[in-house]
Amino acid sequence: MADLLVSGIIYGSIIALGAIGLTLIASILNFFNFAYGDLFSLGAFITFLFLDLLGDWGAFPGLSFGGGLVVATLLSVLIMLAIILLIDRFFFKPLREFDATPLFMSLASLGLAFILRAIINIVWGPEIRYYSTAIQISKKLPFGIRVKPDELFIVICTLALVTLVYLILKKTRMGKAMRAMSDNPVLAKASGVETVRVIMWTWIIAGTLITVAGTLYGIQVQLRPTMGWHFLIPLFVAVIMGGIGSFWGALIGGMVIGISEEMITAVLQNAFHSMQIDADMSGYKPAVAFVLVVLILLIKPHGIFGKKEH
């Protein structure tokens, strides 16, 4: 069980990275960005592209990748930010100026999601890819826990980024402006918050997080054009569960989804075994997230950390 808990934390930390970006967009730009999952895939694939261009840089001791992947990820973040800001300039900004409703914006982002996925399919094809096909044998730790060094890296990387975003939101003027926009956009505008710059920085933070999250998912699992689309469900569940706009909510929501998806079916399976009932619970794994979000919304309609509407 402890082993599954650890593996849930690793998966959960990738979800949390994505969920923080998504929740910022949802609260500051006031719509659910369905294209976020496919930006996740695009980020991972652009990293793959640079990794390929950079050639073999060797691997860090113990890890499955080396400096090449780090540099590729940084370059990928830059390219992704350029792409995302261009998309905002030519796609979302006209819609905003149009005073499109949040529903309209969400549907438009859904269209964008299809376009992005089609582009990935055209450029990279439908085949699955790996940054490194080498298999890492996991290290044995006490309590039956097994972790790969890569997984440790994923958790550390997530912690560092989450701390950075937290500091930006808490300590900088821009962070305060972002929180103000998310709390009450009308009041924020009235008190002289520069909306345009706040929106730009929201995209920059969310774009960086999603690119890194995509790359981490690529290291841990694999790259496939539909990776982000499937990842969207846990992301949304995490954001809704945590409460839209809540930093801590997204972080904890992501962890809860990651851990519960890994553990709940196993717990149920063991319970059935001890009752001598022969049932295969593994097929119900995808239902876990949904049952959880329904339960939480029944108890706390605005999510764990959500605030009531103004």
Partner 1 sequence: MSSKKFNKGRFGKCFLATMMVALVFSFINSPGYCEEEMKIGSLIPMSGDLAAYGKCVQQGVNLAAKHINEAGGPLNMKLKVVFRDSQTDPTALRDSAEKLVNVDKVPAIVGPMIRSDVATPVTAPNHVVIISPSNTPTWVTTLKDDDYTFRTTSSDAIQGKVLGKLAWERNYKTASILYINDPYGGGLAESCKEWFEKSRGKILGQASYDPGKASYKMQLKELAKGNPDVLILIGYPESGTVIIRQALSEGLFSQFLFPDGMQSQQIIDSVGGNYLEGMYGTGPGAAENPSYKSYLKEFNKVYGANPATAYSENAYDGVVVIALAIQAAGKDALKTDPGKAIRDKLRVVANPPGEKIIASVDGFRKAFRLLAEGKDIDYEGAAGSIDFDEHGDTMTPILVWKIEKRKIVPVRSVIPD
Please identify, using beta-carbon distances, which residue of 186 and 299 lies nearer to partner 1: 186
Q: Which amino acid is at 286?
A: P
Taking CB under 8 A as the binding criterion, the range among 36-44, 76-84, 128-136, 174-182 that sits at the site for partner 1 is 128-136
Total residues contacting partner 1 (rule CB under 8 A)?
45
- The C-alpha atoms of residue 308 and residue 6 are separated, in whole angstroms, by 34
Q: What's the number of CA atoms in the CB half-sphere (13 Å) around residue 237? A: 25
Q: What is the DSSP string of 68-111?
A: HHHHHHHHHHHHHHHHHHHHIIIIIHHHHHTT--HHHHHHHHHH
Based on the shown chain and the rule CB under 8 A, indicate whether residue 179 belongs to the binding site for partner 1: no
**Binding pattern for the stretch 5-44 against partner 1, x by CB under 8 A and - elsewhere:** --x---x--x------------------------------
Taking CB under 8 A as the binding criterion, the range among 45-53, 191-199, 277-285, 302-310 that sits at the site for partner 1 is 277-285
Based on the shown chain and the rule CB under 8 A, indicate whether residue 138 belongs to the binding site for partner 1: yes
Please identify, using beta-carbon distances, which residue of 175 and 258 lies nearer to partner 1: 258
Let me know how many helices (H) and strands (E) the chain has, helices first: 12, 2
Please state the φ and ψ torsions of residue 130, each to the nearest 5 degrees: -135, 145
Please identify, using beta-carbon distances, which residue of 55 and 99 lies nearer to partner 1: 99
Taking CB under 8 A as the binding criterion, the range among 39-47, 76-84, 98-106, 191-199 that sits at the site for partner 1 is 98-106
H/E stretch holding 294: helix 285-299
Based on the shown chain and the rule CB under 8 A, indicate whether residue 98 belongs to the binding site for partner 1: yes
Based on the shown chain and the rule CB under 8 A, indicate whether residue 3 belongs to the binding site for partner 1: yes
Please identify, using beta-carbon distances, which residue of 4 and 241 lies nearer to partner 1: 4
Based on the shown chain and the rule CB under 8 A, indicate whether residue 190 belongs to the binding site for partner 1: no
Burial class of residue 149 in the structure, from the number of CB atoms within 10 Å of its CB (0-12 exposed, 13-18 middle, 19+ buried): middle
In degrees, rounded to 5, the angle at the alpha carbon of residue 226 between the alpha carbons of residues 69 and 131 is 20
H/E stretch holding 8: helix 2-28
Contacts with partner 1 by CB under 8 A lie at 3-4, 7, 11, 14, 98-102, 121, 125-128, 130, 132-138, 146, 148, 217, 220-222, 224-227, 230, 261-263, 265-266, 269, 280, 282-283, 285-286
